[in-house]
Structure 1
Amino acid sequence: MTRPADIDEAVNAALLKSDRFRLERESDWLRLEAIVTAMEKGRLRRVSDEDLLALPQLYRTVASSLSIARAISLDAATLEYLEALTQRAWFVVYGPRSSLGSWLKGFLGGGWSQAVRGLGIDLALALAVMVAGVIAGWFLVAGDVEWYRTLVPGQFADARVPGASPEVLRATLFGQSEQDGLGAFAAYLFSNNAGVAIMAFALGFAFGVPTLMLLVQNTAVLGAMLWLYAGAGLTLDFAAWISVHGTTELFAILLAGASGLHIGRAMAFPGERSVLAAAADAGQRAAQVMAGVVFMLVMAALLEGFARQLVDNTPGRMGIGFCMLMVWTAYFFAFARGRRGAGDGA
């Protein structure tokens, strides 16, 4: 049977061991806590260079102390203190260096547009392929009408079929805001283009070849429908109808395709780097572009779901589409380039 004196002796020994453990290491703990507290409060200037250089080592020291304290079963108060201090120090040493707001400011304020301009020749190649796809779709259908049914999804080829009268085709563009047909077609266009954008980027790892094929196939659908409406004398009306969201959505597909090609070209021509290293470098830039593509697709969805339904005339639709195209072009090229030039001059 354990005597009370033995219990008291064991408790005193444990307390002594805990006190000795704390005294041997407490100076490092307090130093780290002071540094972490100052950085958490945004008072980085109050932290000396010596403390900043010592921060990683102090973090490892406290993490080691926590591990030892758990192993020898120190008192709960010491364990709780070390766990909290280790967590706080981890966020200071390894955590994100900026808030979401500051990241967005940097991303939209130049990071995204700089990444897009960095695509260079891949952007021009993707644009050329998309234009070629539209032309190919037009001439395929013009040469053989059966190609129209091959290219255009069957569930949307109800009134929009070769041989339909101009009145019927015009009715699919105007006065349809309360009907299901146009809404379903608009939803299809968005979901299809969003899927194409994601696939165009993802397939870039196959040296960009599937990306090129996907861009051609997708824009060939647009070329086929453009041929259909042009035959009914509704070229401008159809272009205005598609431009409301299309100038944003197709621009997003262009960027996604260029991102995929950027990765594929880096893998095919890695230069002095390894294939994996080249793909990783290109992937960082492409991933930043794709983060913006998601934003563009959301914008396109809003334009498609509201602006196109509320504006039921060709000039208004054309104005919206043209303005969006100018906004994206200026943001990615003119505006950012002007800022860089001004900075260089200074």
Structure 2
Amino acid sequence: MVLALFRKAEIEPPADIEAASLRSDRFRLEREVDWKRLDQIVTALEKNSPRRISDKDLLELPVLYRKAASSLAVARETSLDAATLAYLESLVRRAWFQVYGPRIGLFGWLRRFLGGGWSAAVRAIWLDICIALAVMVAGTIVGWLLVDQDERWYYSLVPGAMADGRAPGADPDMLRETLGTAENADGLGVFAAYLFSNNTGVCIMAFALGFAFGVPTLLLLVYNLSLLGAMVWVFQEAGLGLDFAAWLSVHGTTELGAIMLAGAAGLHVGRTMAFPGDRSILAAMQSAGVRAAQVMAGCTIMLIVAGLLEGYARQLVGDTPSRLAIGGTMLTLWIVYFAAMPAPRERET
């Protein structure tokens, strides 16, 4: 009797394994047709070959996906063989992306972004833009008044490398030469790249400092624009105020616009943190962060344009009316785009 029990115990484990194997095979055979059909549809979609898919298969894609997901749940609960489980996990993951994943690629996203997504994000932070603009104007006036009161303020506001001989009391002819043009475009590409890098640093700093409730962003905007106000005073005193304005407008309407938007994006995040309303700070920051990120993505485009204008157009176009025309045209284009471009329609799901 005891010997029989031992023999039975020796036989039962292999029998259990064999039974489990049979269940796994039966489970796969009963559903494998649907899995293969789903695999073929998903593979065709991944290869951007929807024409290879019949209308019937395309309509049944969600149904097949749900069946595969259900099979995966059963496979996990019943501990089926590892190969079946791995296959189902991969298939369900790929099918999920085709059923619920995004339907837009890089160029589609860029078209949607430039076609109204960016302008809508900018309009959404209009209050922060007004604050940033007011602070920038105030900073320019402060720089002007400080230097007008005491010329020594100029050397405190404007770094020596940036001044480059443009200082209070400088000879007007020398100042006019600093507003001149290059003889040709050789080397201007490197110059444009340098300007883009420098301006990008200012914009990133203005945005990043917004997380400290926006206060450092305001101070940065005041400082950068007080520097500009000091320079405007120098050229105005030399009788070159209009020439300097034209020289600056070529790239300034785009560059200063990008800095203003970057500062406004930082202020938007900081203001939302300080005044989240009925929402939690994290929830408020999430929605504000999405809008601010869209604005900053657009600032990158503006900085590229500003770098090209500053590195090429400003260096090759020398007469004041033409420079004013370029700067005015760019300002008009940006205002019209941000004010009039409608928001993109929501995609149907």
State whether TM-score is above 0.5.
yes
* Contact 1:29–1:62 under 8 Å retained in 2: no
Q: Which residue of 2 aligns with 1:344?
A: none
Q: Which residue of 1 aligns with 2:98?
A: 92
Q: Which residue of 2 aligns with 1:57?
A: 66
Give the Cα–Cα distance (whole angstroms) in 2 for the partners of residues 84 and 274 of structure 1.
Answer: 37
* Contact 1:38–1:46 under 8 Å retained in 2: no
Q: Which residue of 2 aligns with 1:201?
A: 207
Give the Cα–Cα distance (whole angstroms) in 1 for the partners of residues 294 and 324 of structure 2.
Answer: 30
Give the Cα–Cα distance (whole angstroms) in 1 for the partners of residues 322 and 37 of structure 2.
Answer: 65
Structure 2 letter corresponding to 1:196: V
Give the Cα–Cα distance (whole angstroms) in 2 for the partners of residues 178 and 34 of structure 1.
Answer: 59
- For each residue in 1:133-159, what CA deviation from the matched residue of structure 2 results, as whole angstroms up to 9, or x when unmatched? 111111111111111111111113231
User: Map of 1:241-260 to 2, 5 A cutoff?
Assistant: 241-260=247-266
Q: Once superposed, what is the RMSD of the aligned Cα atoms?
A: 3.7
Residue 55 to residue 311, structure 1, CA distance change in 2 (3 Å): farther
Q: Which residue among 308, 316, 320 is the counterpart of 2:314?
A: 308
Any unmatched runs of 5+ in structure 1?
1-11, 341-346
The number of equivalent residue pairs is 325
Residue 57 to residue 240, structure 1, CA distance change in 2 (3 Å): same
Give the Cα–Cα distance (whole angstroms) in 2 for the partners of residues 45 and 275 of structure 1.
Answer: 49
For normalisation by structure 2, the TM-score amounts to 0.80
Give the Cα–Cα distance (whole angstroms) in 1 for the partners of residues 190 and 33 of structure 2.
Answer: 68
1:276 aligns with 2:285: no
Q: Which residue of 1 aligns with 2:55?
A: 46
What's the CA shift for 1:192? 3.8
Give the Cα–Cα distance (whole angstroms) in 2 for the partners of residues 185 and 282 of structure 1.
Answer: 35
Quick check: which has more Rg, 1 or 2? 2
Give the Cα–Cα distance (whole angstroms) in 1 for the partners of residues 150 and 40 of structure 2.
Answer: 77
Give the Cα–Cα distance (whole angstroms) in 1 for the partners of residues 58 and 278 of structure 2.
Answer: 39
Q: Which residue among 266, 278, 293 is the counterpart of 2:299?
A: 293
Give the Cα–Cα distance (whole angstroms) in 2 for the partners of residues 143 and 184 of structure 1.
Answer: 39
Q: Which residue among 223, 239, 245 is the counterpart of 2:229?
A: 223
What's the CA shift for 1:30? 2.9
1:265 aligns with 2:271: yes
Give the Cα–Cα distance (whole angstroms) in 2 for the partners of residues 48 and 141 of structure 1.
Answer: 75
For normalisation by structure 1, the TM-score amounts to 0.80
Structure 1 letter corresponding to 2:179: L
What's the CA shift for 1:309? 1.3
- For each residue in 1:70-108, what CA deviation from the matched residue of structure 2 results, as whole angstroms up to 9, or x when unmatched? 98465xxx8997687456325314643211121111111
Residue 34 to residue 236, structure 1, CA distance change in 2 (3 Å): same
Structure 1 letter corresponding to 2:133: L
Q: Which residue among 120, 125, 132 is the counterpart of 2:126?
A: 120
1:236 aligns with 2:242: yes
Residue 63 to residue 198, structure 1, CA distance change in 2 (3 Å): farther
Give the Cα–Cα distance (whole angstroms) in 1 for the partners of residues 314 and 230 of structure 2.
Answer: 21
Question: Any idea what SS the aligned residue of 1:97 has?
Answer: coil
Q: Which residue of 1 aligns with 2:151?
A: 145
1:25 aligns with 2:34: no
Residue 171 to residue 61, structure 1, CA distance change in 2 (3 Å): same
What's the CA shift for 1:127? 0.6
More displaced 10-residue stretch of structure 1: 34-43 or 218-227: 34-43
What's the CA shift for 1:318? 1.1
Give the Cα–Cα distance (whole angstroms) in 1 for the partners of residues 54 and 294 of structure 2.
Answer: 32
Question: Any idea what SS the aligned residue of 1:242 has?
Answer: helix
More displaced 10-residue stretch of structure 1: 257-266 or 187-196: 187-196
More displaced 10-residue stretch of structure 1: 309-318 or 192-201: 192-201
Q: Which residue among 145, 148, 154 is the counterpart of 2:160?
A: 154
Give the Cα–Cα distance (whole angstroms) in 1 for the partners of residues 133 and 174 of structure 2.
Answer: 33
Any unmatched runs of 5+ in structure 2?
1-17
Residue 81 to residue 133, structure 1, CA distance change in 2 (3 Å): same
More displaced 10-residue stretch of structure 1: 228-237 or 95-104: 95-104
**Identical columns (%):** 60
Give the Cα–Cα distance (whole angstroms) in 1 for the partners of residues 291 and 131 of structure 2.
Answer: 17
1:212 aligns with 2:218: yes
Q: Which residue of 1 aligns with 2:8?
A: none
* Contact 1:36–1:88 under 8 Å retained in 2: yes
Q: Which residue among 86, 97, 105 is the counterpart of 2:111?
A: 105
Question: Any idea what SS the aligned residue of 2:180 has?
Answer: coil
